[in-house]
Amino acid sequence: MNGFTREHAAIDAHQHVVARFFAPPGEAKAAVLVVPAMGVTQAYYAPFAEWLAAQGYLVATFDYRGIGQSRYGRLRGLKVDVLDWARQDCAAMVEAVTARAEGRPLYWVGHSLGGQILPFVPNRERVARIVTVATGSGYWRENTAALRRVSWWLWFVAAPLSVRLFGYFPGKRLRKIGDLPRGVMEQWRRWCLNPEYAVGVEGEPAREAYASVTTPIVSLSFTDDEYMSRRNVEAIHGQYVSAPRTLKRYAPKEIGVKRIGHFGFFRPKFEQSLWRAHLLPLLS
């Protein structure tokens, strides 16, 4: 991919958040912050970020603390949870991208978890537009049938026992999700076991946070998502009661492919069929 420059940067020396910035060849139209899914490193989004930069956008990717390049030393003892990721890591990224954007609009592209946690980001008012990709509530009883078959084992056996034993969630060993800090896994587990997800666990402040978001949201979801059902998608976006919402759901056959799934959107093979045809108009 040509026509862009790439830079690594430590956003906050205390928080240890490592980011990559992809600058367009000329003046940027706008800035795009790519907010990752649970356990997914920023490297996964690099081809997508490179492509967006070549289209004229300043793009930033990053790893949450304890993940990828933002993992320092052992996870045991790292005190961080999902709300810390939102309130501190994402907030630091919004600050950093806003500073580099020099007055241009900032767009938030959130993958799965990245579309769930925006309400908890204190400086979210700087975001001009939100696109969520494969984002749903995560409530396990409303997951797809295939996921429900393993969710019980994960939430009631593997997660609590392994966290107690290792001091973090050893997802790589279990071939589930990836390694996660203890606080992240324990909080996420509570969310996934509650019918109202984060709002049901965190209470009225969380409900008010979702309701306070007024930025337009477009949801892109897929009928063959192995994790998020239609009900999951509708449930999480239903919490954004004050925001203009557009929910777009695609079947693979509509774009001439056999599979998209929960992770497929960000793969380079969808450059024409999804990125250019369905995402780019939302960022124009």
Q: Give the pLDDT of residue 10.
A: 62
What is d(CA 184, CA 66) in angstroms, rounded to the nearest whole number? Answer: 10
pLDDT digits (tens, 9 = 90+) for 18-48: 999 999 999 999 999 999 999 999 999 999 9
What is the Cα–Cα distance from 34 to 228, expressed in whole angstroms?
Answer: 20
Mean pLDDT of 97-119: 97
DSSP structural state of residue 37? P
- At 221-246, the pLDDT tens digits run 999 999 999 999 999 999 999 999 99
pLDDT tens-digit series, residues 46-91? 999 999 999 999 999 999 999 999 998 889 989 999 999 999 999 9
pLDDT at 111 over 60: yes
Instruction: Read off φ and ψ for residue 283, nearest 5 degrees.
Output: -105, 5
What percent of the chain shows pLDDT beyond 90?
86
2 burial via Cβ count (<10 Å: 0-12, 13-18, 19+): exposed
User: What does R_g of the chain's alpha carbons equal in angstroms?
Assistant: 18
Residues 16, 70: contact at Cβ < 8 Å? yes
Structure tokens at 168: 């973090």
> Three-state DSSP class for 65?
coil
For the segment 118-132, what is each residue's pLDDT rounded down to a tens digit?
999 999 999 999 999
At 1 the pLDDT is 42
**1 versus 55: which is more confidently predicted?**
55
**pLDDT at position 3 over 60:** no
Smallest CA-to-CA distance from 210 within 247, 235, 230, 185 is with 235
- What does the DSSP assignment read for 85-124? IIIIIIHHHHHHHHHHHTT--EEEEEETHHHHSGGG-TTG
By DSSP bridging, strand 5-12 and strand 17-23 are: antiparallel
Which band of pLDDT confidence, cut at 50, 70 and 90, is reported for residue 13?
very low
Q: Phi/psi of residue 166, each to 5°?
A: -100, -20
Confidence of residue 106 (pLDDT cuts 50, 70, 90): very high
Q: Write down the pLDDT at residue 11.
A: 62
pLDDT of residue 12 exceeding 80? no
| pTM exceeding 0.85 | yes
Domain boundaries, the chain: 5-283
**DSSP codes joined into one string, 235-269:** HHHHT-TTS-EEEEEE-GGGGT-S--TTTGGGSGG
Residue 274 has pLDDT above 50, yes or no: yes
Share of the chain above pLDDT 70, in %: 95
Domain 5-283 has CATH 3.40.50.1820: yes
Half-sphere exposure of 132 (CA within 13 A, CB side): 30
pLDDT above 70: residue 182: yes
pLDDT over 90 at 198, yes or no? yes
Q: Which residues fall within 8 angstroms of residue 211, CB to CB, at 6 or more apart? A: 239, 240, 241, 242
pLDDT at 5: 58
Residue-wise pLDDT tens digits, 128-155: 999 999 999 999 999 888 888 888 889 9
